[in-house]
Amino acid sequence: MGPFNRELAPRLQAVIATSTELQERSALKQVGLAAAMAGALRARGVPDSAASLAAELGVLAFKEAYTTWLTPDNHQELGELTRKAIDGLRTTVTELG
């Protein structure tokens, strides 16, 4: 996502925060994203339960990265932040055993 998205996103988030319908739509988009990711993983031969879990963790990592990306003092790219969020989740899951 480029500079335009970075400028527009906080305003979009503010509008979504004011509307229950928009919050529900945003949640449905996240469900759709997880379903698409799980489907792509299954198509690559990943077992169903692992694909579903990986997709949910991927959406969680993206949400965390996106929130960080929007902060005014952030200078990192969204992809880099997403990779860091995934690494953080991987570490947490490992620590939980």
Structural domain boundaries in the chain: 3-96
Residue 26 · residue 16 · CB < 8 Å: yes
Is 51 strand, coil or helix?
Answer: helix
The predicted-structure confidence for 19-52, as pLDDT tens digits, reads as follows 999 999 999 999 999 999 999 999 999 999 999 9
| pLDDT value of residue 1 | 63
Residue 13 · residue 70 · CB < 8 Å: yes
Task: For domain 3-96, give the CATH superfamily.
Answer: Tetracycline Repressor, domain 2 (1.10.357.10)
Calculate ∠ Cα 41-76-74, nearest 5°.
Answer: 125
pLDDT, averaged across the chain? 92
